[in-house]
Amino acid sequence: MLSCLMMSGVALLAAEPGGEVKRSEWNGYVKLDFEVGGRAAFVVVPKVAAEGKPWIWRTEFFGHEPQADLALLEKGFHAAYVDVQNLYGGPTAIAAMEAFHAHVEKAFGLSAKPVLEGFSRGGLFAVNWAVAHPDKVSCLYLDAPVLDVKSWPAGFGKGKGSAGDWERCKQVYGFADDGAAKAFKGNPVDQAAVLAKAKVAVLSVCGDADDVVPLAENSGLLKERGAAVGLEMELISKPGVGHHPHSLKDPGPIVKFVLAHTMKGR
């Protein structure tokens, strides 16, 4: 079933896969809530959509330190989210993301190649999506991202880890024990060559004093491995900063990176 919503005199077409689309407001923009496969989802609509309807897909913690999202909304990007919490970027999450991507492309006419935005554990979702669907991502903006489950939530390295999250994560990935997890070679830090071959550019913003998701075990390791295989990756390191605060007070460098890989600087 399809419904037609109006914003500033413009009709917005939205599918209703399991209930009505609910209209609300987020930071002065129209927010459309709906469900896809029983999962809560939404799209935030810019005042005037940019050509091709580019969008940024926050994989976790939507609304936290949203300065880059807001700046891109001003540039005509849509912003979107689907709830795949506690799935740690595993196969179930990727399947749910596939359904969401197909839905918003068809229902809202959004670009087939969104910007994937991975905050913290959201990095697992963002990179795993790009690896599974390199033709359906324009670039990756990661922020203090988890890129190896052995680092977080397992805490096998220098990070604190999270016991509860680790038990859930092991179930998501089907790890029989810690040994199986340590032998796993499907983490984002293992995918530098895949990303490089697909020409998926990466920006990562991290605090160099992060003791939750240590830089050296995550973004630092991906950049090191990426350098050997030609991965285009920019790392913005924030001296003396921990896991928080995320993002940058001035999101200009983030916006510049995104535009360079989506709208060619428009």
> Quick one: pLDDT at residue 264?
55
Q: For the segment 89-113, what is each residue's pLDDT rounded down to a tens digit?
A: 999 999 999 999 999 999 999 999 9
pLDDT higher than 90, residue 1: no
Q: For the segment 141-150, what is each residue's pLDDT rounded down to a tens digit?
A: 999 999 999 9
Report whether the peptide linkage leading into residue 214 is cis, meaning its omega lies within 30 degrees of zero: no
> Quick one: pLDDT at residue 265?
41
Instruction: Provide the CA 65 distance to its chain's centre, in angstroms.
Output: 14
Strand duo 39-45 + 139-143: pairing: unpaired
Domain 22-260 is of which CATH architecture? 3-Layer(aba) Sandwich (3.40)
Q: What are phi and psi of 40, to 5 degrees?
A: -65, 140
> Quick one: pLDDT at residue 60?
96
What are the Cα distances from residue 122, in Å, to 19, 24, 186?
A: 27, 25, 16
